[in-house]
A = this chain, B = another copy of it.
Amino acid sequence: MEASGTLRARLYRQLDPRAWRHRGLSPINLVLAWLIVFAAVVGVLQTEPELENRYGAAFVGTELILALIFLAEYLARFWTIAEEPGDTPAWRCRLRFVLSPWSILDLIVIVVSLLPFIVGNASILRMARLARIVRLAKLGRMSDAMTHLTRAVRVCKDELILVIALAGAVLIAAATALYWIEGDIQPDKFGSVPRSMWWAVVTMTTIGYGDVFPITPGGKVAAGALAIVGVGLIALPAGIMAGALSQVIRTGDSVDEKAP
């Protein structure tokens, strides 16, 4: 660790969540987290034609400022990463930072956000809007709670996969059953298994838009059976996760020490 500049060391402790010794996020990271949310909200509102027509210039300005702030954040991280504890030389820390998947993604998002101001291409801007949403995922990366969740998922991974496979099998069976029963009566809705599948997904997740539903007594009995089995299967992942999380929370600290 080269402690050459006090500013760089202090900025490093602000930017790297692992170097922050207090609870929660550091002030700078907190501001950045809210800016990411704000950028997502701006990106969402921009797509509304009415707002775009009225406040188009304001949107372009906000986008430019946000892109520059995130560019500054990227450069600051690149500069301060040299403060990382350990004997790794500064250029190695920086290379590792630049080549990490999250940094590459960040850089792509920044470049794409700035492109329209250089090239002026509107279709790329559209793509950038979605990419910017990925920034929200960075909030997750910043949080310590993710370890709890990922560990709980790892504990019950096999059970979750099994339940999902079971749900998939029930889904296909239900879609096939309705295709047999109502395929000839409502051919546009149940005329093939893929078409019935839309109904099966909408029913099993208990959404029930009401655009597709069985109209014959046989179809209603089959749909009712699927609904009841489906609700039970959907309750299982919640139960599985609860069991795993309750174990992870209880043995949380001791497992932390054992983990590599």
Contact = CB atoms under 8 A, between A and B. Distances in A.
Nearest to A234: B231
A207 B192 contact: no
Contacts of A173: 130, 133
Contact of A136 (B129, B168, B227, B243): B168
Interface string A213-248: 100000010001001101110111111111111111
A205 B205 contact: no
Contacts of A194: 44-45, 47-48
**Which range holds the interface residue count of chain A?**
35 or more
Contact of A156 (B193, B203, B249): B249
A149 interface: yes
Interface in A151-209: 152, 155-156, 158-159, 161-163, 165-166, 168-169, 172-173, 175-177, 179-180, 191-195, 197-198, 201-203, 205-209
A254 to B, nearest CB: 14
Interface of chain A: mostly helix, strand, loop or mixed: helix
Contacts of A175: 44
A48 B207 contact: no
A86 interface: no
Nearest to A213: B209
A205 B231 contact: yes
A240 B245 contact: yes
B137 A162 contact: no
B241 A236 contact: yes
A186 to B, nearest CB: 13
A192 B49 contact: yes
A56 interface: no
Contacts of A197: 44, 224
Interface of A: 40, 43-45, 47-49, 129-130, 133, 136-137, 139-140, 143-146, 148-149, 152, 155-156, 158-159, 161-163, 165-166, 168-169, 172-173, 175-177, 179-180, 191-195, 197-198, 201-203, 205-211, 213, 220, 224, 227-228, 230-232, 234-250
